[in-house]
A and B are shown apart, each in its own frame.
Chain A
Amino acid sequence: GNSVTQMEGPVTLSEEAFLTINCTYTATGYPSLFWYVQYPGEGLQLLLKATKADDKGSNKGFEATYRKETTSFHLEKGSVQVSDSAVYFCALRGLSGGGADGLTFGKGTHLIIQP
């Protein structure tokens, strides 16, 4: 079945540091890939997505590129801010697996940005 693997953290960085959160996946076919963000006390919000190989999703300074050859979708940001502190979930949606809607989530990465 499908699976998503990401570092769980917590990941602690100083403000303005470069961020990478690794995400790799296993899936049949050609899934769509997503990053969701959960700010403290809130629900999951879509951060960005990519629906085919070599697509780059971007939003709020975050970027991730769909790499089919390495089955990866790493999240990057050039200069993080304290307000980026949150839990980040990598997810995929495909034709098989994942509770009938094809959604499979990683366990989430807790990111802490210190001033």
Chain B
Amino acid sequence: EAQVTQNPRYLITVTGKKLTVTCSQNMNHEYMSWYRQDPGLGLRQIYYSMNVEVTDKGDVPEGYKVSRKEKRNFPLILESPSPNQTSLYFCASSFTRTGRALRTEAFFGQGTRLTVV
């Protein structure tokens, strides 16, 4: 089954304690990205990756890091979480933006609800 898997689904942590949210896809997609969803703000892109070892900032990258050592995995790292990073996070994957791929959709993980106290 085609899917994007995120872990954990729920996480409560304290300010400053490093954490990693994992994301894995089984569709051989080149493109992966992270979003955060906040009330009234919709989905905002944090970081994205066009392929292995190629990552770039999205709209709200401050306080986050990512890595793309393998095609299937794209972890999101919060080195020193703060309360303003309390949010619902989604990982997504898709084929890259070329020709036929533009007619295909992005696939989303189930989400990670993070609370930083």
Q: Which residues of A are at the interface with B, using a C-beta cutoff of 8 A?
A: 8, 31-32, 34, 36, 42-46, 49, 51, 89, 93-95, 99-103, 105-108
Contact = CB atoms under 8 A, between A and B. Distances in A.
B102 A99 contact: no
Given A89-B43, A95-B97, A101 B105 contact: no
A57 to B, nearest CB: 11
Interface size range on B against A: 20 to 34
Given A94-B102, A99-B48, A108 B42 contact: yes
A93 B98 CA distance: 11
Nearest to B29: A101
Given A32-B102, A99-B45, A105-B43, A43 B97 contact: no
Nearest to B91: A43
Contact of B105 (A31, A34, A108): A34
A108 B90 CA distance: 15
Interface string B46-90: 001010000010110000000000000000000000000000001
A8 B41 CA distance: 10
